[in-house]
Structure 1
Amino acid sequence: MDPVLLAPPRLSAQRARIVIATIFAVHGVVFATFATRIPWLQDRLGLSAGSLGAALLFGAIGGLLGMPFASRLLHRFGGRRTTRVLMAAWCIAGALPVLAPNLAALIPLLLLYGMTSGMADVAMNAQAIPVERDLGKSIMSGLHGMWSVGGIVGSAVGVAAAHAGLDARIHLAIVDAALLVVALGATSKLPVNLPDAAEPPPKPFVVPSRGVLLIGLVAFCAIFAEAASSDWCAVYLTRITGADPGIAAASYTAFACTMAAARFGGDFAVRRLGLRSTVRIGGVVGTLGALLVVAAFAIAPTIVGFALIGLGIAVTFPLAVAAAGHADPIPARGISGVATISYGAGIAAPGIIGGIADATSLQVSFGVVAAVIAFIAVGARYLR
């Protein structure tokens, strides 16, 4: 186990769990706040589906470049300091894309957005692994449930802001400034875990083992579906069903709510059904949801479809992250491996969806999403 990530005895496991859960929630609010205003950004800059998708692809590139360095930063500077800096950077970067005056300016801002999001994600997941060991039970699904709760809060505020016609620049500036204060307060309560100079720093780029690759492939499918749905659900409702911006933004709320509910129940489901069965059933449910999105042209069933996608894919990524973190003597390295595979490629989903939509239609794009989710059910056997 990496000494950098060990919590000192003075911080109880239960208290550490609450602190980390707060950090997960803040991360989710920042993400959802931007996601609900993507249609506003598209309209303001006059972007086509393909141009928007290509721009969002740079968020994936940022994550791909940043994530492999997270474990090295944790080793060098310690868990609390690294997580504190990365969460602050994420809160700031989350408010920047809507400030872009044109597509050329949007691209580097989304690159920074992806880098800070991915690195902060690895750091907070790595902090959770030793707490899970101390408690002697699975908590990762519940922590990711807190991320989804943050998504619900952020999307609810986004729905209200969209209904009111509030300028997204003002909306994000206010919300993310408040989140910055919360993030700094929560990370200040993390244990002071100093780096271990005797242990060599992990290399930022290492070829994952076969086991990690297989886990990462299943996680990739879940993140692909999650990214595609969260970034495109509001646009889908607007373009395909003719929903107004407020109703369209509510589709992300439905998606986030079902993800949160499933993640809070995920640890219990694993104990009752087993890990593979839980993931396999979720893959089937998510596939049915994506097919409903493709087949429906009305507002209500389309929102239900996105809700089913969220319900089906919710526990796959948290369980994959936990498996990777426990499998590697340096948890951040195992997490970074799976996260780089899944996020580095999975966050590319918005760009892929946009490209397919430009060439064909949004319905065809979500037919691809249905096929990707179906692989989760098939690949559940790789998670042990």
Structure 2
Amino acid sequence: MSNRSAISAVFAVHGAVAGTFATRVPWIEHRLGLGPTLLGLALLCPSIGAFAGMPMASRLAHRVGGRTATRGLLAAWCAVLALPALAPAPGWLFPAMLLFGVTSGMCDVVMNAHALTLERRLRRSIISGLHGLWCVGSLAAGGVGILAAHAGVDARLHLGTVALALLGAGVLAGRQLFPDRVAPGAPAPRRFALPGRAILAIGAVGFCGTFAEGASADWAAVYLTKVADAGPGLAAASFTIFMSCMAATRLAADRLVGRIGPVTLVRCGGAVAVLGGVLVVTARTPWQGITGFALLGVGVATVVPMVFAAAAATEANAGEGVAGVATITYLSGLTAPAVTGWTAGAFSYPAAFTMITCIVAMITVTAGALRPRTGTAGAGAPSEAASVPASSQGAGRP
């Protein structure tokens, strides 16, 4: 297995854990007798855990190396997958969900930083395709989870079995990751330092993309039902179509990065997302709405991979840059569904997605923050069209 194949498998396994868990939340809710308030608090715990864990991830990778950190944290997250279903009472569910979030967020940071280090070594973009494989892993595992739920399989058995299978796959992939080492004299990541202006600017691009992604994923089916009179099956299919369009775009985007550069790529994506938002806002038939959500998926698909790549190239420590923007994007994904719901309740569903369309329009304005910077510690390629950062520090790191 090559280094590229190994990190690809890591991303697919990470996505599969997320997709598997999402399908069994209703089972956990029913078993523990959770009301909407308790369920909402439980589902908030992973985000809180991720916020707590992300600042520690880059320091761990700096201390033990990216490969070791990625292997250990991926194994931990696979193992933690089974814990929420094993909780005997709500009081046990909350710490299990917090731990789920901590391991998820930390693994997210270190595997992206490790992937971007490999990207520098290869001198070509691979990060978008890796995020596409994350989507593929999530969709495939989600499909298996839906079948298990319909068949009435106990979630403890389902999640435990999948956790073992994904743990094995993650261990095999982790063994083939390249052995990156911290360069002598490399600065250690800071503890809970405020992001600099460059990271905040990059994070703003990510915030806009992730806001639209989170709102669309959570509200597409409801929107189509309430506004476009879609049936339950067609409304439910909108999420799969949205995620499939994101996955396909991410898998194809690495070739475009080398040709047109990250700024132009993300700006074009923002324009496509605006078109999708307009179709959603004006939709009064199911297929126009589904087309709009599909274009939203295509438009925002490349934002997070390009934001991570730009952040890694901006900071002297790639993991610190990734952790900074990942925290911002997690905040966006956390707030987007709630803000969308509040806006829809106060005004209307079309008004809520008019707001989202305005937010994705900001992607085209702020995308310049992703332009590679020459002369910075982790930085970049000499021109916008260059595919990956190629500094002497990045290229020479073993």
Classify the TM-score, shorter chain: 0.7 to 0.9
Over the matched positions of the two proteins, sequence identity in percent amounts to: 48
Deviation, structure 1 residue 355: 5.1
1:10 paired residue number:
none
Q: 1:190 aligns with which of 177, 180, 185?
A: 177
Decide whether the 8 Å contact of 1:144 with 1:318 is kept in 2. Answer: yes
The count of residues paired between Structure 1 and Structure 2 equals 369
1:320 is aligned to 2:310 = no
Trace 1:269-348 onto structure 2 (pairs within 5 A).
Answer: 269-296=256-283, 300-348=287-335
Decide whether the 8 Å contact of 1:75 with 1:196 is kept in 2. Answer: no
Q: Decide whether aligned partners of structure 1 residues 22 and 40 sit closer, same or farther in structure 2, where only a CA change above 3 A counts.
A: same
Decide whether the 8 Å contact of 2:45 with 2:97 is kept in 1. Answer: yes
Deviation, structure 1 residue 94: 3.5
2:47 paired residue number:
60
Query: Bigger radius of gyration, 1 or 2?
Result: 2
Q: 2:211 aligns with which of 224, 245, 259?
A: 224
Trace 1:1-384 onto structure 2 (pairs within 5 A).
Answer: 15-38=2-25, 45=33, 47-48=35-36, 53-98=40-85, 106-164=93-151, 166-193=153-180, 199=186, 201-233=188-220, 243-244=231-232, 250-296=237-283, 300-353=287-340, 356=343, 365-384=352-371
Query: Tell me, which stretches of 5 or more residues in structure 1 are unaligned?
Result: 1-13
- Larger mean CA deviation between 37-46 and 149-158 belongs to 37-46
2:383 paired residue number:
none
- 2:190 maps to a residue whose letter is K
Deviations along 1:208-255, one digit per CA (max 9) or x if unpaired, are 2211110011012222222333345466667776754x7665433212
Deviation, structure 1 residue 135: 1.3
- 2:244 maps to a residue whose letter is C
- Larger mean CA deviation between 20-29 and 326-335 belongs to 326-335
- Larger mean CA deviation between 99-108 and 88-97 belongs to 99-108
- Larger mean CA deviation between 79-88 and 337-346 belongs to 337-346
Q: Decide whether aligned partners of structure 1 residues 34 and 165 sit closer, same or farther in structure 2, where only a CA change above 3 A counts.
A: same
Give the whole-Å Cα distance in 2 for the aligned partners of 1:155 and 1:255: 14
1:29 aligned counterpart, secondary structure: helix
Q: Decide whether aligned partners of structure 1 residues 171 and 302 sit closer, same or farther in structure 2, where only a CA change above 3 A counts.
A: farther
Decide whether the 8 Å contact of 2:81 with 2:160 is kept in 1. Answer: no
Decide whether the 8 Å contact of 2:75 with 2:171 is kept in 1. Answer: yes
Deviation, structure 1 residue 191: 3.1
Decide whether the 8 Å contact of 1:292 with 1:301 is kept in 2. Answer: yes
- 1:207 maps to a residue whose letter is L
TM-score of the two chains, using structure 1 as the length reference: 0.82
Decide whether the 8 Å contact of 2:203 with 2:325 is kept in 1. Answer: yes
- Larger mean CA deviation between 103-112 and 263-272 belongs to 103-112
Q: Decide whether aligned partners of structure 1 residues 204 and 359 sit closer, same or farther in structure 2, where only a CA change above 3 A counts.
A: farther
Deviation, structure 1 residue 303: 3.8
- 2:264 maps to a residue whose letter is S
1:203 aligned counterpart, secondary structure: coil
Give the whole-Å Cα distance in 2 for the aligned partners of 1:101 and 1:67: 28
Indicate the RMSD between aligned Cα atoms, in angstroms.
3.2
Deviations along 1:311-333, one digit per CA (max 9) or x if unpaired, are 11011111111111122221111
Q: Decide whether aligned partners of structure 1 residues 33 and 247 sit closer, same or farther in structure 2, where only a CA change above 3 A counts.
A: farther
- Larger mean CA deviation between 296-305 and 176-185 belongs to 296-305
Decide whether the 8 Å contact of 2:274 with 2:296 is kept in 1. Answer: yes
